[in-house]
Amino acid sequence: MTCQLSVVVPTPAHSTLGGPLSYRSEFPLAPGTLVRVPLGRRELLGVVWDPEAQFDNAAPEYELKPIAGVLDGIAPLTARWRELVSFAASYYQRGLGEVALMALPPQLRGLSAEQVARRMKRTAGPAPATAGQIAAAPTPEQAAALDAFEAGTGCFLLFGATGSGKTEVYLQAVQRLFEREPQAQALVMVPEINLTPQLEERFVARFGAADVVSLHSGMTHPQRLKSWLAAHSGAARVVLGTRMAVFASMPGLKLIVVDEEHDPSYKQQEGARYSARDLAVYRGRLEGAKVLLGSATPSLESWQACEKGRYTRLVMPSRIGQAQLPKVRLVDMNLQPHKTVFSPQLLDAVSQRIARGEQSLVFLNRRGYAPVLACTACDWKSECPNCSAFRVFHKIDRTLRCHHCGFTERVPRACPLCGNVDIAPVGRGTERLEESLAQLLAGTRRPGGEPVRIARMDADTTRLKGSLEVQLAQVHAGEVDVLVGTQMITKGHDFRRITLVAALNADSALFSADFRAPERLFGLLMQAAGRAGRDAIQSGSSEMWVQTFHPTHPLFAALRQHDYPAFAAQQLKEREQAGMPPFGFQALVRADARTQEGAQAFLAAAAAAAAGIEAADRVMLYSPVPMSVQRVANVERAQMLVESASRAALQRFLAAWHPVLQATREKGMIRWAVDVDPLAI
């Protein structure tokens, strides 16, 4: 007997083959089974899909290709997992096979049945119970939050001050789940890879190494495969991961935790542009699992969902023990001499911390030595030849490096245009900031008389494997007096010795054209402030310093009071008046072409052809415009905003518009993509 199967494979994003393909099998296979199938000259990994997803169950007029093999040792992916993938592909306007295969570990695609069987043996059966660290008694606020979480259903937002012990709430929520259901699984998500090691350490200490696995893009292919198999088989009870972990196959999933749920890193920016936080909420409904979103500065979407009663808000306003939130001090840079980098007041405060043996954190969200190198005699600047952006000067290796396309050159000895040897850095990055601080603090001594120790932590210094862990260990051990870095050091880290946090150049987002910029800035500053004073003994003297040219801005007034609810209320009022998310819904269509004219012409033609399609009368299409960085790697980029007051109407429009976009593509176009619920416009 010959069976016809529907199989999803990773077809190209812009091909017309977005759904399952039909193949022949000598025996029936359950939906969710992993198979190998031929496609063109290649053999690909595919997933058997539900029969109703077939194009035609009748006998085809052409000869179907047979499947090439079955990965027998791996249990089929569940119906709920397939439903999650189907929803993500539909909502974010991507191919079904693209999303399904993106969610599977890459190494799975090249394994034989025998290799699969060997790897499954290593993860077979549930992990034995291991004696873990005994949990400390929860604080009254933690206990109240846990009790409310246990008693309720659906999605919860844990609104807790930095240092209030949200991680302990996550740990105890997982522990209570396992006590009720020993075979249950929990998914715990963090926004960035650098937060995974410290969280993994705490979960392993509580539940044992056999029960906890990680899933993130920083792992090797064999590591990811091992973790995925452990989760898929149920051997791993806790999966820790970044946004990609939302698609982890976990047949016993009963609890999903999304830490720092406001973080933009949960939104994928390439390929399938999905929001892992939003998919986590959807998956919770599918699986009948509780979802716990945690943040000291929640996204306005989640805050509004609580206001409307769709989520349950749990509040923990106090820090653990007697620890206090830091005092916020604003330095009016209008009163400082021109080109002042560190105000004398801030420098004195940092020096006092060093003399007392305390640590300070200084963050500037710009890596490199200087954002641009310029000639003092002519108009030459270190522009990238491939992008409409400047190459950043990195002094440590004397290079000019484009942070968009990666193009790197040695710093020229003289100006390429006029030959002037006096070319100088303009602006300041973390590398130059580190150098400036070393000079300014050269005469400062630690309590034992030793010179000050300054460290820098950004994408450049943590590039090598293991370097992040080494640097974090040095900070925790007190081997660093002043830590300089980008926003990666302001998120989630439990630095016990830091009593002063300073934010430089915080004004850049205040008057941005992006309506989300104030929300991101306030969240970043609040999170940064949360790194100070986490030790109760030192918290009374902890401070957050902000150097600004706009000290009377309402954002800073809310920051001084640590008053997120007031800030959220003001922002939501403005957005409601403007019809912006979460009161309206958006999508961006991005186009890449050989020329800017070609990219915009494609978008204009697609907009003109959209007039007669479903729900077009309920959707607003704006004119095409260049992207903020309009050329990257010699590819011109343009975008067009699509808005609607109805999410359902926007989705119907986008689904009907997709074939139009396919048909509109012309010569010179490289690619196009739809970004639903964009975070940056």
SS3 626: strand
Lookup: tokens for 46: 């595919």
Q: How confident is the model at residue 14, as a pLDDT?
A: 57
Q: How confident is the model at residue 17, as a pLDDT?
A: 65
Lookup: tokens for 281: 């909420």
Q: Is the peptide bond before 659 cis (omega within 30 degrees of 0)?
A: no
Q: How confident is the model at residue 536, as a pLDDT?
A: 52
Residue 375 marked in a binding site = yes
Q: How confident is the model at residue 53, as a pLDDT?
A: 42
Residue 378 marked in a binding site = yes
379, burial (CB in 10 Å: exposed 0-12, middle 13-18, buried 19+)? exposed
Decide if 205 contacts 133 (C-beta within 8 A).
yes
- The single-letter code of the amino acid at 498 is I
Instruction: Give me the CATH code for the 3-122 domain, please.
Output: 3.40.1440.60
76/116 Cα distance (integer angstroms): 14
Decide if 9 contacts 37 (C-beta within 8 A).
yes
Decide if 388 contacts 508 (C-beta within 8 A).
no
CATH 3.40.50.1950 fits 140-316, yes or no: no
Q: How confident is the model at residue 52, as a pLDDT?
A: 56
The CATH class, in words, for 585-676 is: alpha beta
Residue of 361, 357, 362, 363 lying closest to 479 (CA atoms)? 357
3-state helix, strand, coil in the chain (%, to 5): 35, 25, 40
Residue 36: phi and psi, rounded to 5, are: -110, 135
Q: How confident is the model at residue 212, as a pLDDT?
A: 95
Instruction: Give me the CATH code for the 327-367+429-576 domain, please.
Output: 3.40.50.300
| pLDDT < 70 regions, the chain | 1, 12-18, 52-62, 112-113, 120-134, 536-540
Residue of 8, 3, 302 lying closest to 158 (CA atoms)? 302
43/41 Cα distance (integer angstroms): 7
Compute the CA torsion angle 373, 374, 379, 384 (nearest 10 deg). Answer: -10
140-316 against 327-367+429-576: fold identical: yes
For strand 585-593 and strand 669-676, is the pairing parallel, antiparallel, or unpaired?
A: antiparallel
Q: Residue 70 pairs with which residues in a beta bridge?
A: 35
Angle between helices 79-91 and 276-287 (to 10 degrees): 140
Domain ranges of the chain: 3-122, 140-316, 327-367+429-576, 372-426, 585-676
Residue 306 marked in a binding site = no
Q: How confident is the model at residue 59, as a pLDDT?
A: 46
| Cα angle for residues 180, 207, 224 (degrees, 5° grid) | 110
429/414 Cα distance (integer angstroms): 22
Residue 155 marked in a binding site = no
Q: How far is the first Cα of the chain from the last one, in angstroms, to the nearest whole number?
A: 55
Decide if 239 contacts 215 (C-beta within 8 A).
yes
